[in-house]
Amino acid sequence: MIGVFDSGLGGLTVVKELLKRLPNYKILYFGDTARTPYGTKSPETVCKYAIENTRFLLARGAKIIVVACHTVSSTSIPILRESFPDVPFFEVVTPSFKKALRLTKNKKIGLIGTRTTVESGIYQRLFSEADPEIKLYTNPAPLLVPLIEEGWLKKPETRSIVKKYLIPLKMRGIDTLILACTHYPLLKKIIAEKAGKRVRLVDPSEEVAIEVAEYLSRQENVAGVVEPNGEPEVWVSDITPNFERIAGMFLNRKISLKKFSW
């Protein structure tokens, strides 16, 4: 079983991509909707939440863990791997970085994400080590996650906010833009429109799903213990009627949410 967690419902974009590439694998998802967003919290608090989320998924039978959250991926992966040394972890930062590195032509890359992800400096370090000539321009976009969680995907206000977040990056002449939050693919059309035709987007949901599929194709011992089942099991720490509607929208299917409280 593949375990996936995120601070809220955004990680369902990763589940959607996993279902495309691994339709016969059972997927267990946990969205910490009671404590979202993670991007405004301290790294210490985020690490605590990440460990708790991992324990929940493992207790329910997950064999590998996909961290579908940029905030956790940028702050907590070393601690998770130290705390659970026998568990394969996949995160969304490294595959996104690799894809952006391949895409950029002018070596000017933009990034939008939560404040914690941006301030972690993890992308700056990766690009600096890979190619010192690359210029990474970042802009925190803290309003996008709450707007997405509320289902404001087509509101004029959302379009206006996206435009304001992208203006400083466009002024730098970027040709590649990393969507450094798994919520953001739900706004991909708007972001692509506001970024312009010359800017290519990096979707972390697609990139991490490709990485997981490639890993499983090489690890028969892991694949053998993953329970086949095409329907994802979705748990959250808080439920509102709006969440079920949005979850269904993420996956293009009707979803019945299950609640787990800490």
- Please pick, among 47, 69, 162, 195, the residue that the annotation labels catalytic: 69
Q: Under DSSP, is residue 173 helix (H, G, I), strand (E, B) or coil?
A: coil
Report which of 166, 53, 48, 70 is spatially closest to residue 122, judged by C-alpha positions.
70
- Please pick, among 62, 181, 199, 247, the residue that the annotation labels catalytic: 181
Report how far residue 153's alpha carbon sits from residue 132's, in angstroms, rounded to the nearest whole number: 37
Report how far residue 254's alpha carbon sits from residue 44's, in angstroms, rounded to the nearest whole number: 35
Report whether 222 contacts 216 (CB < 8 A). Answer: yes
Report whether 80 contacts 89 (CB < 8 A). Answer: yes
Residues with Cβ within 8 Å of 238's Cβ and at least 6 positions away in sequence, in order, are 33, 34, 259
Told to judge if 181 belongs to the known catalytic residues of this protein, a careful annotator would answer: yes
Report whether 134 contacts 102 (CB < 8 A). Answer: no
Told to judge if 69 belongs to the known catalytic residues of this protein, a careful annotator would answer: yes
Report how far residue 217's alpha carbon sits from residue 224's, in angstroms, rounded to the nearest whole number: 11
Query: Tokens 């939440």 map to which residue?
Result: 49
Q: How far is CA 85 from each of CA 78, 79, 80, 81, rounded to the nearest angstrom?
A: 10, 10, 8, 5
Q: How far is CA 237 from each of CA 73, 130, 185, 204, rounded to the nearest angstrom?
A: 20, 39, 22, 24
Q: Catalytic residue numbers? A: 69, 181
